[in-house]
Structure 1
């Protein structure tokens, strides 16, 4: 009895030792917990210290129905090699239908397993399209001539319906490819939801854990929908020549696919595959499967940003601003998109376009404002693009969005619908301050210098004089500046630009004039000039005769009060000129007016272009609206009747007044005229006298 108990105790001790040995061996061989399949079959022991472990099992759709594949690892824990020709695998359905399990070509040269090592083998079989993994049984057999049929079953792998070999989200899997262990994980998974399609972008990380580089050929990447359908993804780089994985370096591969919205995004998986064999004999087998958690990529029109992946580059597209300006009876909408290269190297400018929509389907005709084309974007650098559209002034923009499209050949593929920002308020420039423009290829200093109110028969003309300074380091024509006058009560009056086409040197100025017709009773106190850079279908406008469609990046300039009429003839400002009339004698000889005019003209040479070059000296009786003498003077002109040059000038004007009503108390006025409107610069009440110099303020 004691002997029997001792023998039982001995057996128990031996069993415990065996269990301990196995427990020590298994952790070194099992895949990481990140990659472990749920409800995976247990290893099949072929000897007391050697076993066959199932690494991966899957069924994929194929042109012949479905392809079942099985990757197994033979571990040899003994001190002698294992002859693999003694072992084989038999595949059948649960009901007994047999299928042929074929060893992949690259594994056929593996004949034995050295002692204390392992070898991985992959088998595949074509099965009917209605067969799933849970319908199959994979048996491990050993050739044994002592049994009937010469095959002895050592164990089998059954697959429950809950078997899942997909790597969980944020996990990784180590696979053996080209006899090299490769760690694979999904770094990022995003979805962009468009109106008709969804765009899925993935970033796959692969690390070669070996010591030598390996070239992976014929790799494939598929999205598997919850119903089992497979959709091949595009890779960021050309993988037709294989993927080269350098030792210990984390290589990132960007994948993308556009799927109809009818394809459910729930339960989608990424399948990494490899095609083995040549041409018609090739077979595509899964390497790894990953569960996906797709995060929305800013496409629900609730955000202003979108991440765009193209080839080996990642971009961020952002709606930076929305501008709305009244122009020619309608409102112009302008959005500014900033495209930033988030890659670690220079990237080409992506073929992305934008379009305004009200809601999901009401497209507003939108055009890109052509700017100087940039060929590439530096790492972390940006480019800007402007898109414009025209809408009625009553349009409600509550549902306005900007849809992004990728141009593919002749078609545009929707990428995202982005929320627009609130309509931007033009920044304000105080009286006397300069606004330095530095965008859209424009470098221009803009400063309002003075305002004149010119009188007309039905309306008045408000003329705003602006210094435009060329801040480029080369000579160029200044940009057309367009906009409107906005009164304190919100009334708007479009402006017309008066400028030259003269090329302006660096740091030099052009005086431009913005004019607006306003009602005679318009209250202009507190009015501002809203002024932006003109554009049309060719880009930013410069030439004077080039019509503009609108303006961009407007600024609100505070306006000084309009210049008042003075009685000082010594500092008359006409364009870039200062005119000092120092002698005015008006003599009436019977019915002839005899007038002497003396004056000096100086010029500010910081101005290389300006349009104001004329003024008119008038003798009139304002009480009866009678003009007796009118002397138009052109500054530095070549064709005028009276031309004053720089320096001293003198004219003696004799005019016959016999056909006019001659008054004795008269006004001596100096006018400037623009487009038929005129403003009185200087005025004095005088009388006819051969002795009095009315330019002298002391003369009464």
Structure 2
């Protein structure tokens, strides 16, 4: 387990179980990768006539588009279209003709005109007219068993019927359109070119989850108002599964030469044979008496799906009733947290359409080695209430496991929760965990535990958080060790740049030091009291106690966005997890003090000292130490240096005398003073000033034996008892040093 964080620069990969279909020439997907699910521009035209019979002269009745589907309760429904072609100079009355339907065994099935066609009769000269029929047959009847027997009413005959022809359906007759071709069909009274753009199929433990991207193009001269269409997936066994439709409804109008993309999604039991699938488009037709039937318009062969490995950052799509969304898995990590580990995944959602979309109510879970299910909490850190076209947001998935638990593979199931009273969708472990709603699977990603380390960037490099409303850039400037009597405090100075266009608060963070053996040291983080301006920076002091002798050179700094009960933590919250981890290699610490008193740096401050001098009254033992200084600060940096001090110490060369004076910094000053003594309240003020330190020691004349040289030491004090020497210079007593 300790090796999980040892190799920070590992290259990350991710595989998602997605399947695609068709073996036709490729097109370019959203991320620029090739996808073999495209189709050629091959148009099959309208379905050919099954057969025709002559009704005198060049006039004919054609049998078109016969289909067979299951009835609502029992049996099957045959639907077919008769087209009367009048090539003569006089009108034809369809009432003079009829059709009888029989099976090969001699069983007759009554036929009925669709309600919408019952008022049709007269076919003008030089025109054609369609008449649609249906008939109920038994479960064992197939299309090739049927014959269509046409008659003309003749009242001079005893049975009033004159046979005029018969048409049988060939055994090889099919509505199916080959893979790679588009089908012309009349929809909404206009010619429509229809075809499959691409297909993907993901799956979970119990169901295949197909997504079919379908395109309709109006090639007519008028707008086509779509009828009520039903899209179905038909399996090789003849099982029919309705698909959810996004992009159109029965009120949609497709204007001339306009293409409309439709996204179809569904859920197919995993036990169903995955090969031999077909897409069926049917129009829901009113039969009258509150009865409807689905009349197939076109059918397409779906190619066998093939598995495809997917890398981090690749775009995929899913659809719901609101529209089509892009989805991308950015990362899936295992992180240290107290006596547990966190599983965190970052998913990006994108509006791929041209209209604004609502943000779907995402949910999901992790599954380890196909055996252990880990509930996931969904966290959104953005400040967005809807998705504009092309806009992206990030969503975080968070779960917890014992830090001692080992696994090989992890799956992330991305789902959407519908606020309905329906039962949960198939394949959802435990159903709906939050009460009242239907959960639908969207996509499943698969990952390997060996690749779940957080890659650390090198010293001085920057990393971003791109959540809308919280965009910021993080980097580690320096590391300082403050020695104490019982232990060392190590402080990392983290710079946070506000990338938003408004004043913004720095997100509450969680931070750890992690050593190469996997040992984790939690850190305290200084709290800021003000917001950061646009383009401004904040300096955070991340501090922790390390054992004596612990080296920071090989350690990493982990930073994450703090979480409390499934939401980003506020200032006063005690975090219970973190997300969006960033890892940094720590810069080498500057351990040797400088001897330059004109350029003392302790970011965001700078101090320059000159005219440094000492005077002494040997009789009274009064020693006066004074210096001029210029104290500056980066005004674009917000920091909290409360309780931080600068300590200036003078120490005689023989070591018998030393005196240290603490100076508060301007941001943490509790009293004024301009550098004058004030019961420990000395303060370094911004700008140019003079500081005087008065020391009274009656024994001082006996301690300063040589009166030759002394050291001027400058310490940065992080907290009482914890100091780091940053500058040291040897000076002469009773001389003024420039």
* TM-score (normalised: structure 1): 0.79
Instruction: Check the 8 A contact 1:36/1:167 in 2, yes or no.
Output: no
Residue 540 of structure 1: how far off its partner (Å): 5.6
1:63 paired with 2:72, answer: yes
Distance, in Å, in 2 between the alignment partners of 1:479 and 1:178 is 54
Partner of residue 102 from structure 2, selected from 92, 101, 106 = 92
What does residue 717 of structure 2 align with? 673
Superposition pairs for residues 53-452 of structure 1, below 5 Å? 53-65=62-74, 66-159=76-169, 161-176=171-186, 180-237=190-247, 239-240=249-250, 242-277=251-286, 280-293=289-302, 296=305, 305-311=315-321, 313-328=323-338, 330-392=340-402, 396=406, 398-409=408-419, 410-420=437-447, 422-423=451-452, 426=455, 428-430=457-459, 433=460, 435=462, 437=464, 439-440=466-467, 441-444=469-472, 446=474, 448-452=476-480
- Is the 2:318–2:326 Cα contact (8 Å) retained in structure 1? yes
Look up the SS of the partner of 2:116 in the other structure.
Answer: helix
Cα RMSD for the two superposed structures: 4.2
Measure how far apart 1:114 and its partner are: 3.5
Greater mean alpha carbon deviation, residues 197-206 or residues 401-410 = 197-206
**Which sits farther off after the overlay, 106-115 or 408-417?**
106-115
CA 505–98 in structure 1, closer or farther in 2 if over 3 Å, else same: closer
Structure-1 separation of matches of 2:457 and 2:722: 29
CA distance in 1, matches of 2:352, 2:691: 66
Match of 1:23 in 2: none
Distance 1:556 1:165 in 2: 61
How far has the Cα of 1:140 moved from its partner?
Answer: 0.6
Question: What is the aligned counterpart of 2:733 among 681, 686, 692?
Answer: 692
Matched, 1:599 2:638: no
> Per-residue deviation at 1:293?
0.8
CA distance in structure 1 between the partners assigned to 2:413 and 2:463 by the alignment:
32
* Partner residue in 2 for 1:641: 679
- In structure 2, relative to structure 1, the CA distance for the partners of 1:250 and 1:565 (3 Å cut) is closer
> Which one has a bigger Cα radius of gyration?
1
Asked if the contact 2:148–2:167 (Cα under 8 Å) also holds between the matched residues in 1, the reply is yes
Partner-residue secondary structure (3-state), 2:95:
helix
Residue aligned with 1:134, SS: helix
Report deviation, 1:243: 4.2
Matched residue of 1:110: which SS?
coil
Q: Equivalent residue of 1:106, what SS?
A: helix
SS at match of 1:476: coil
* Secondary structure, aligned partner of 1:43: strand
Q: Is the 8 A contact 1:192 1:299 kept in 2?
A: no
One of 561, 575, 581 as aligned partner of 1:534: 561
Aligned partner of 2:639 in structure 1 is: 609
Spell out the pairing of 1:22-37 with structure 2 (5 A cutoff). 36=47
- Aligned-partner Cα distance in 1 for 2:233–2:526: 61
Q: Secondary structure at the match of 2:98?
A: strand
C-alpha distance 380-510 of structure 1, shift in aligned 2 (>3 A)? closer
Q: CA, structure 1 residues 435+174, in 2 after alignment: closer, same or farther (shift >3 Å)?
A: closer
| Residues 285-294 or 608-617, more deviating | 608-617
CA distance in 2, matches of 1:682, 1:370: 46
- d(CA) in 1 for partners of 2:209 and 2:516? 49
Which residue matches 2:607?
578
Change (3 A) 1:588 1:379: same
Q: Bigger shift: 324-333 or 537-546?
A: 537-546
Give yes or no for contact 1:527–1:559 (8 Å, CA) kept in 2.
no
Aligned length: 651
Partner of 2:14: none
Cα distance, 1:511 vs structure 2 = 3.7
Separation of aligned partners in 1, 2:115 and 2:64: 19
Residue 413 of structure 1 and its aligned partner are, at CA, apart by: 1.9
**Other structure's SS at 1:364 match:** strand
Contact 2:185 / 2:298 at 8 angstroms: preserved in 1? Answer: no
Query: How far, CA to CA, are the matches of 2:182 and 2:606 in structure 1?
Result: 78
CA distance in 2, matches of 1:469, 1:178: 57
2:580 & 2:439 partners in 1: Cα distance? 26
- In the other structure, the counterpart of 1:652 is 694
Q: Does the CA contact (< 8 Å) of 2:561 and 2:581 recur in 1?
A: no
| 1:422-501 correspondence to structure 2 within 5 Å | 422-423=451-452, 426=455, 428-430=457-459, 433=460, 435=462, 437=464, 439-440=466-467, 441-444=469-472, 446=474, 448-480=476-508, 483-485=511-513, 493-501=521-529
Structure 1 counterpart SS, 2:441: strand
Equivalent-residue separation in structure 1 for 2:179 and 2:625 (angstroms): 93
Deviation readout 1:346-396 (Å, 9 max, x if unpaired): 433333345433233423343334312323444444333333344455655
Q: What is the alpha-carbon distance in structure 1 between the residues aligned to residue 299 and residue 144 of structure 2?
A: 19
Q: 1:684 to 1:182 in 2, by over 3 A?
A: closer
Is the Cα contact below 8 Å between 1:172 and 1:186 reproduced in 2?
Answer: yes
User: C-alpha distance in 1, partners of 2:724/2:547?
Assistant: 16
Per-residue deviation at 1:93? Answer: 2.8
Aligned to 1:4: none
The yes-or-no answer on 1:45 pairing with 2:47 is no
Q: Which has the higher contact order (CA 8 A, sep 6+)?
A: 2
Runs of at least 5 residues in structure 1 that lack an aligned partner in the other structure: 1-31
1:404 to partner: Cα distance: 1.2
Cα pair 1:298 1:305 within 8 Å, conserved: no
* CA distance, structure 1, for counterparts of residue 236 and residue 403 of structure 2: 49
